[in-house]
Chains A and B, each alone.
Chain A
């Protein structure tokens, strides 16, 4: 894959990729962007090995998820500043701010796999088959993670 092609694909995928990582990082946009940049470098270095057997976005999201998991393994557990959700551009009302804070707080309490499955299914509208390729787990396990994630979120989010 040429550099120009890679950048073209990247322009299309940057927003979904950053949104996915933002959800995984519980609203910490600086950390999400750092991991996204790290993932892009890894993807660029490995772009010669991309054979087109899966969609570019699936491949890129898998690399990003692995980068995020590497970060989780290395980083000490820390409290994400959920108040940062107030800074989100769409959160232009107090009500929206509250909803985002509630969402990120709830996502932060989920196990990583559940969080990733929920983010890909509900925020990125990816089918279960694709989520299974990104998270490298069978479709049945993805469905189980989604079900558990929904149950947990129901406990954590007051509607």
Chain B
């Protein structure tokens, strides 16, 4: 067994010292950097869109709920038009609308409290 061990130690594979290898590795790393920054940019863009959507939903939800509480409608005196139906719908489901507004507020808070690059780094 000693001969085999000596044979292996004396005949280690030798590699050519190739500067092109490091250059190629650096070129690939630059490509990786390019892809990383593009993914990062797209994540940032998606995050901005999400924040805008959540904020808009929250504002509209708060407004509609406030109106439903401030100007309650009388179902008896309403005509059958679209806006009357919508007002009646809001009046009936205003408690659920408040829950939806609360959910939007929590989601917005969570999105804003997350570090911007978290999605890429995790």
Does B9 count as interface, using CB distance less than 8 angstroms? yes
Cβ-based interface call for B8 (8 A): yes
Query: For residue B114, which residues in chain A have a CB less than 8 angstroms away from its CB?
Result: none
On whether the beta carbons of B29 and A159 are closer than 8 Å, the reply is no
Complex interface bits, A92-123 against B, C-beta within 8 A gives 1, otherwise 0? 00000001100110000000000000100011
Identify which of residues 28-49 in chain B touch chain A, using a CB-to-CB cut-off of 8 Å.
Answer: 28-29, 32-33, 36
Residues of A close to B21: CB separation below 8 A: 14, 18, 33, 36-37
Supposing A19-B13, A88-B13, A123-B13 touch, asked if A159 and B22 sit within 8 A by C-beta, the answer is no
Size bracket, chain A contacts: 35 or more
Q: Are B28 and A48 in contact (CB under 8 A)?
A: no
> A22 at the A/B interface (Cβ < 8 Å)?
yes
The segment from A39-47, A61-69, A135-143 found at the interface with B is: A39-47
The chain A residue sitting closest to B29, CB to CB, is A44
Q: Are A123 and B8 in contact (CB under 8 A)?
A: yes
Whether A19 contacts B4 by the Cβ 8 Å rule is no
Chain A residues proximal to chain B, CB less than 8 Å: 3, 6-7, 10-11, 14-15, 18-19, 22-23, 27, 29, 32-33, 36-37, 40-41, 44-45, 48, 88-90, 99-100, 103-104, 118, 122-123, 150, 153-154, 157, 159
Q: Which residues of B contact A (CB under 8 A)?
A: 1, 3-5, 7-9, 11-18, 21-22, 24-26, 28-29, 32-33, 36, 121
Nearest 8 interchain pairs by C-beta: A122-B8, A90-B14, A18-B15, A22-B13, A123-B12, A40-B25, A159-B3, A23-B13
